[in-house]
Amino acid sequence: MRRKLVAGNWKMHGSLEANQQLLGALVEGLRGYDAADVAVCVPAPYLAQTRSMLSGSNVAWGAQNVSKHASGAYTGEISASMLLDFDCRYVLIGHSERRALYGESDHAAAAKFVAASQAGLVPVVCVGETLSERETGVTEAVIARQIEAVLSLAGVAAFSNAVIAYEPVWAIGTGRTATPEQAQQVHAFIRGLIRQHDAAVAEGLVILYGGSVKAANAASLFGQPDIDGGLVGGASLVADEFVAICKAVKS
């Protein structure tokens, strides 16, 4: 039985003061909560604050990006071991904003996945099609290409301690959510892809849905058989909303 996960992606939002309120409210709102794993992926400068506020709570934390290199002359980059210094559990890999705005290729995302995985972080690799890709009927081909790039570099065994987030680009930050049926169809396709390599890994793999998840739509999405929780952007910045999304998971 897969345990569900709800992860927040704060993107480039926050301040010491605002984070204090938000993290404090999450600790309070999720005290005793055990229906799913919960995490927040925060901007790197706030990892120390996040660790100090979330240690001992049932909310884990992580980062939004990682270098494929272990160390060296890579100005501005952050290594997996640096994230581990702050007790990160998760790191987002290949978020569509990184792919679209920073030219991150499938191969670059795969290399970051390998660096994270080998260091002992749980990579959350994001995949998803654009609106024009969906409309031209290439959704599955795009997702397969993105996942196969990781499989060929990392191997299927690495997915036994990794998460895939299906995030249709047209649903991110747009208020337009995939229907539960649309999302389920792609999640089943993703699990089937992994199953072709290893059935046990596929059955244990946590596959999150991301794209305008809110308290109002979370339960119907999370109720689908292959949707194992959510990756939540905008709504993760509002404590009550994020807590309500977590509580939409049926234990």
Which residue stretch of 98-106, 128-136, 190-198, 207-215 sits at the interface with ligand PEP (rule: CB under 6 A)?
Answer: 207-215
Contact call for residue 64 and ligand PEP (CB under 6 A): no
| # binding residues, ligand PEP (CB under 6 A) | 14
If the CB atoms of residues 11 and 202 are measured against ligand PEP, the closer one turns out to be: 11
- Give the amino acid at 198: D
The least CB distance from residue 235 to ligand PEP, in Å, is: 6
CB < 8 Å & 24+ apart, contacts of 54-58: 54/23, 54/26, 54/27, 55/87, 57/26, 57/27, 57/30, 57/31, 58/30, 58/31, 58/32, 58/33, 58/34
The least CB distance from residue 210 to ligand PEP, in Å, is: 3
Closest listed residue to residue 83, CA positions, set 37, 118, 59: 118
Q: What is the dihedral of CA 79, 84, 88, 89, to 10 degrees?
A: 100
Contact call for residue 93 and ligand PEP (CB under 6 A): no
Where in the sequence numbering do the catalytic residues fall? 95, 167
Contact call for residue 9 and ligand PEP (CB under 6 A): yes
Contact call for residue 216 and ligand PEP (CB under 6 A): no
Identified binder of ligand PEP from the candidate list 24, 120, 155, 173, rule CB under 6 A: 173
Question: What whole-number distance in Å separates Cα of residue 36 and Cα of residue 103?
Answer: 33
- Give 197: exposed, middle or buried? Use CB within 10 Å, 0-12, 13-18, 19+: middle
Contact call for residue 167 and ligand PEP (CB under 6 A): yes
If the CB atoms of residues 96 and 201 are measured against ligand PEP, the closer one turns out to be: 96
The least CB distance from residue 23 to ligand PEP, in Å, is: 18
Identified binder of ligand PEP from the candidate list 62, 128, 210, 229, rule CB under 6 A: 210
Q: Looking only at residues 227 through 246 of this chain, which bind ligand PEP when binding is defined by CB under 6 A?
A: 231-235
Token pair belonging to 225 = 């058989």
Closest listed residue to residue 174, CA positions, set 134, 228, 122: 134
> Which residues are near ligand PEP by CB under 6 A?
9, 11, 167, 172-173, 210-213, 231-235
